[in-house]
Structure 1
Amino acid sequence: MPIKTEVWSVGLTPALLQETILPSEQLLEDMIVSAPRLLSEEWMLIGRQESTGLGGRIDLLAIAPDASLVLIELKRDRTPRDVVAQALDYASWVEKLAAEDIAAIYKRYRQNADLAADFKAYFGLPLDEEALNQSHQIIIVASGLDASTERIVAYLSERDIAINVLCFQVFQQDAQQLISRSWLLDPVATQANASNTRSDGPSEPWNGEFYCSFGHSSTRSWLDAQALGFICGGGGTWYSNSLKMLAPGDRVWVNIPQQGYVGVGRVTGRATAAADFTVIHNGVDTPVLQAATRGTYHAEHRDDPTLCEYFVAVEWLQTVPVEQAIKEVGLFGNQNTVCRPTTPKWRWTIERLKARLPHFDKT
């Protein structure tokens, strides 16, 4: 059923706030540009009202931490069929953007700005030109959601199209207007669809093997992960949410960016916030932030469910030290903490890794 939110005042006699509307969808777009966190803390806006050369202009364009693109289209007064069709049409244009095209779009959005430098400042990561625009997702922004739009978007998402709807509602409280937002679908699923359907070649059915990008640095340590049996990701929902795809029994192959593959393990638990995750240390069940001492693990955010580190327990089947990481030309790589790749490169990568890590299936 269509998204519907009700907001009540807090008190002994709660009062239902009256729903109202914004003067225009243009105001909503202006608000998003002024405060991009209305959309997501994990995206950086890089374009606005950019001509596609197809007889239209995209409303907004953003970039995610893995250098994938996010096409953002406001529903405005269009019918469900029109807005979805136009968004898909624009996505076919976004998919073909080369690195130099994206840099030029950003310069038009922020005059004389440098995309690589601003990406590094925003995300704390270098912009990998090879990863740039290897996947994308479509976000439709609406001030109200009808059943037809919901059915269309759900149908496409179930068929692995990375599309979602962010619905805003406005409420009146005395002289002030308040705005709320609700996702139609779980953003984790949309992010997963985007990472699974990369634009660098054909896709094929997922082979059941999970990929993990483990950021070995001062934040998290592969030595800790090896010794204590975990993988982790945090510092924002984009990094931690994909861990929720894992379930006990799943097999996961771990890659350290720029280093190579370092292990394969069997998942034994669900994604758990740092404050609640424990490991066996010196024979004793110990809070992970006490036992894992080689990294910071965003300990300063342990009580913040958005920014804290999340952990997944893993029984290692075979691991190697960072110095012996498996790195070959053509092996699959991705900056998502966890994903379910559907590119033929992933199948080939697994074949190579099984030869290098022969204990991948031990019981």
Structure 2
Amino acid sequence: MPLEVGLWRVDGDKPVKLTASGVPLEAQLEAMIEADPGILGTALLLIGRQVPTDFGKFIDLLAVDDEGALHVLELKRDRTPREVVAQLLDYGSWVRTLTHEQLLDIFATYRPGAVFEQDWTTTFGGDVPEELNSGHRLTVVAGDVDPATERIIAYLADFAVPVNVVFFRYFGDGERAYLARTWLIDEARTPPRTGGVSKGGSKETWNEQDWYVSFGEESGIRNWEDARRYGFVSAGGGEWFSRTLRKLPVGGRVFVCIPGRVGYVGVGTVIGEAQPFEQAVVTVDGEQVELASQVLEAGYTHQALSSGEDHREYVVPVDWTITRPRSDAVWMRGMFANQNSACKLRNRFTLEQLAQAFDLGD
């Protein structure tokens, strides 16, 4: 049984108990959670509302926490215990397969024009994890539930299924209204989040060698054929975009991916430190030349959007092992993708598929 919550208004020396009820409209409760997911008791970034699944159903609210774990929030509405719990478990079976890039697509649909990493920093501070969907948690949101639902949820929790019920009580007091929250199962005893995508999660061991690089082809700014021809990767347009690229170590092996479901197009070894485009040097026919002096398809410059921030394009020289044209990129469901310009690549499934596709002999 959940803890019962009471609320009293203090009039002088006399406490006056307020009468609790369910939230008048569950749609109103859904809107309240959307406006401030923090009322659930933990910091969450909402990434979708009424998210369509592959089997024709819609998740009420989908959020992510500061560790990259997903939270499926489902309002009870007027459904039987069997219906609400079965549907929540079905949603869990679907979200555990979502890749990093699919989650970014869901966010883009929910928040058109918003930048995921900016929303992340505003909500949590710090950088986005290398891999989203490190696990998931399932939550029924309700004003009350019947004994059958309580028994089912408690039974599943005993077998380490990360499921719980959060109750909201509504207290009216004249022109004011209050919400109180409690959980069916003490959150300290809730099972750990179940792991995410089985083909490779964020907890896999890194081999201390391989790096993922996102090479976003922006019209007039950056071009993959330039990078293939002159041996480099680049990123810029703000400190957020160039910071991770500038951390690539000399000797590291990079796997270059063009985002937007295009795919992986090259593998190579970093042979120099990052430099601003205007100062970058590459090797042409065995000689060191300034990249800016070469015939290029793109300009590698950005318009400064705020004073004081470094918007320059940074270039990292790479000795290519093998590259492919954009039209022959390698991509399949479950492969690793990330919005950072560069990060450690530890996803075993991705590495295995790329080793085969690029004939690396790993």
Aligned-pair CA distance for 1:5: 2.1
For residue 59 of structure 2, what is the aligned residue in structure 1?
Answer: 58
Letter in 1 for 2:157: S
Residue aligned with 1:193, SS: coil
Change in CA separation of 1:200 and 1:134 when aligned onto 2, cut-off 3 Å: farther
Counting only pairs closer than 5 Å after superposition, residues 258-297 of structure 1 correspond to structure 2 as none
Gaps of 5+ in 2: 201-344, 348-362
Partner of 1:94: 95
**Structure 1 unaligned blocks of 5 or more:** 203-328, 332-363
**Secondary structure of 2:77's partner?**
coil
**Deviation (angstroms), 1:99:** 1.1
Counterpart of 1:116, as a letter, is: E
Distance of 1:145 and 1:187 partners within structure 2: 18
Q: CA deviation at 1:20?
A: 3.0
In the alignment, which residue of structure 1 is the partner of 2:187? 187
Q: Is the 8 A contact 1:168 1:180 kept in 2?
A: yes
- Separation of aligned partners in 1, 2:62 and 2:155: 24
Provide the C-alpha distance between the structure 2 equivalents of 1:93 and 1:60, rounded to a whole number of angstroms.
14
Instruction: Give SS of 2:198's match.
Output: coil
- Shift in Å, 1:2: 4.9
Aligned length: 205
Give 2:81's aligned amino acid: P
Q: Distance in 1 between matches of 2:68 and 2:87?
A: 23
Q: Name the aligned partner's letter for residue 95 of structure 1.
A: R
Q: Percent identity?
A: 39
The CA distance in 2 between the partners of 1:161 and 1:175, in whole Å, is: 41
Report the Cα offset of residue 118 of structure 1. Answer: 2.3
| Cross-structure match for 2:209 | none
Displacement, 1:21? 3.5
Give CA deviations for 1:254-302 in whole Å, capped at 9, x if unaligned: xxxxxxxxxxxxxxxxxxxxxxxxxxxxxxxxxxxxxxxxxxxxxxxxx
Q: Give matches, 1:1-363, under 5 Å.
A: 1-10=1-10, 11-129=12-130, 131-190=131-190, 193-194=192-193, 197=195, 199-200=197-198
Shift in alpha-carbon separation, 1:54–1:153, aligned structure 2, 3 A: same
Post-superposition shift, 1:201?
7.0
Give me the whole-angstrom Cα distance separating, in 1, the residues matched to 2:129 and 2:174.
49
Letter in 1 for 2:166: L
Letter of the structure 1 residue corresponding to residue 6 of structure 2: E
- Which is greater in Rg? 2
User: 1:297-353 CA distances to partner (integer Å, 9 max, x unpaired)?
Assistant: xxxxxxxxxxxxxxxxxxxxxxxxxxxxxxxx989xxxxxxxxxxxxxxxxxxxxxx
The question of whether the paired residues in 2 share the 8 Å contact of 1:3 and 1:145 is answered with: no
Aligned mates of 2:187, 2:2 — CA distance in 1: 17
Aligned match of 1:357: none
Aligned-residue offset at 1:69: 0.5
TM-score by length of 2: 0.52
SS at match of 2:6: coil
Residue identity in the other structure for 1:107? A
Residue 116 of structure 1 and its aligned partner are, at CA, apart by: 2.8
- How far 1:3 moved relative to its partner? 4.5
Structure 1 Cα separation of the partners of residues 22 and 187 of structure 2: 25
Distance 1:133 1:83 in 2: 23
Q: Is the 8 A contact 2:72 2:139 kept in 1?
A: yes
Partner of 1:102: helix, strand, or coil?
Answer: helix
**TM-score when scaled to structure 1?**
0.52
Give, in whole Å, the separation in 1 of the partners of 2:180 and 2:117.
33
Look up the match of 2:246. Answer: none
Q: Distance in 1 between matches of 2:196 and 2:94?
A: 15
